[in-house]
Amino acid sequence: MRATPDIRIARNVQQWAQDVATYIHALSEQAIRSHGRFLIALSGGSTPKTLFQTLATPEWKGRFKWDKILFLFGDERCVPPDHPDSNFGMARATLFQPLKIHSDHIFRMKGEYESPRAAAQEYEDQLRTVTRCPAPNLPTIDLVLLGIGEDGHTASLFPGTTALEEQSSVVTVGHAPTGVPTRITLTLGVLNRAAVVLFLVTGAGKATMVRRVIQPETDADRSLPAARVAPESGQLIWMLDQAAGAQLK
């Protein structure tokens, strides 16, 4: 039985950030009580940046058990870690450095490798080690943060690309039509194996795509990458601000 989306709409971005921080904190406490640690896969972009900056404020940084949290990534652009387009670079500047997260709690995708395929394979091996999950089983991540593009992509799974149809790998090479073309990304299989998938979306520019994904009306809507994220036994949650949720019926 696949998850029915749980949709939560905050009145503005400030309230949204507080709501997301509250939810992630509760989830982390629950995971740490259950199995001694919390595995979270981060996403890139301006919306997660707002969240990371909130988590690093005095109000929040003292609440989390950071020494029990392991940070993964849902995708990465094939650039060096100090490049302005690096998802890791953004997380390091806004989250890891302000919170003094120990390097052995951070597992980044090596976007600087000459071979993206080698980087994807290395990350898959690392993820399997961290989750103690040998192939061909799919690892379970406690929480995966995702965003959505105006074309309906999520992580680095873009419409019409081979990465979207990848069945055998946990991590693969993705290709973007704009921006940095080559990416490393988790596949749908592992996204749909997560205990919780949390879509973080703000802003009026995303409202049409949010409606198409959450309330699809056509086969084209249902085949969008973000619409194909449907955890098999986990939870699917969308946390939106009012602008992003404005077109939902």
Whether 249 is in a domain gets the answer: no
**pLDDT average, residue stretch 184-191:** 98
Q: Is the pLDDT of residue 3 over 80?
A: no
- What's the domain range around 54? 6-241
Q: Where are any strands of DSSP class E within 84-207? A: 143-146, 171-175, 182-186, 196-201
Q: Is the pLDDT of residue 2 over 70?
A: no
Confidence tier at 4 by pLDDT (50, 70, 90): confident
Whether 21 is in a domain gets the answer: yes
Whether 82 is in a domain gets the answer: yes
- Over residues 40-54, the pLDDT tens digits come to 999 999 999 999 999
Q: What percent of the chain has pLDDT above 70?
A: 99
Q: Note the residue count of the chain.
A: 249
Q: At 96, which CATH number?
A: 3.40.50.1360
Whether 40 is in a domain gets the answer: yes
Domain count, the chain: 1
Whether 1 is in a domain gets the answer: no
Confidence tier at 65 by pLDDT (50, 70, 90): very high
How far apart are the C-alpha atoms of 118 and 103, rounded to whole Å?
A: 22
Q: What is the pLDDT of residue 1?
A: 59
Q: Is the pLDDT of residue 231 over 80?
A: yes
Q: What is the chain's alpha carbon radius of gyration, rounded to the nearest angstrom? A: 17
Dig out the tokens for 76 from the structure.
């990465």
Whether 106 is in a domain gets the answer: yes
Whether 228 is in a domain gets the answer: yes
Whether 248 is in a domain gets the answer: no
Q: What is the mean pLDDT of the chain?
A: 97
- Over residues 112-171, the pLDDT tens digits come to 999 999 999 999 999 999 999 999 999 999 999 999 999 999 999 999 999 999 999 999
Dig out the tokens for 16 from the structure.
């949204």
How far apart are the C-alpha atoms of 71 and 56, rounded to whole Å?
A: 15
Confidence tier at 181 by pLDDT (50, 70, 90): very high
